[in-house]
Amino acid sequence: MNRQVPRTATALYAIAATCTAIGALLWVRSRTAPRFSVLLYGSSLDTDSYSHSAWRVWSPVVPEGRLGLYLLAAALVLATAARLVSIWRD
């Protein structure tokens, strides 16, 4: 008999998928984007030359690549928890 997956497991799978997507994008971005220093803009002319890839997603203490890996690890933990919840409810 096919039983529906509990809503808790569905929510955990959705969060895990979101963490996976964001983590993978951050990790790939850290591997392909050139390294920029933090730029401070003093005039409007400087903002015209602003490159979108220089925008920091996270604190300078944690590089984007590491944050991406943390999100991928969190996604793995959440997917495992979702699987355990769905097995436990059966």
- Taking Cα atoms as reference points, which of 14, 31, 12, 13 lies closest to residue 69? 31
pTM above 0.85, yes or no: no
> Has residue 7 got a pLDDT over 70?
yes
From CA 66, how far away is CA 26, in angstroms rounded?
9
User: Would you list the domain boundaries of the chain?
Assistant: 1-34+60-90
Q: pLDDT value at position 13? A: 94
Q: How do residues 21-75 score in pLDDT, each as one tens digit?
A: 999 999 998 888 665 544 544 555 445 454 555 666 667 788 888 999 999 999 9
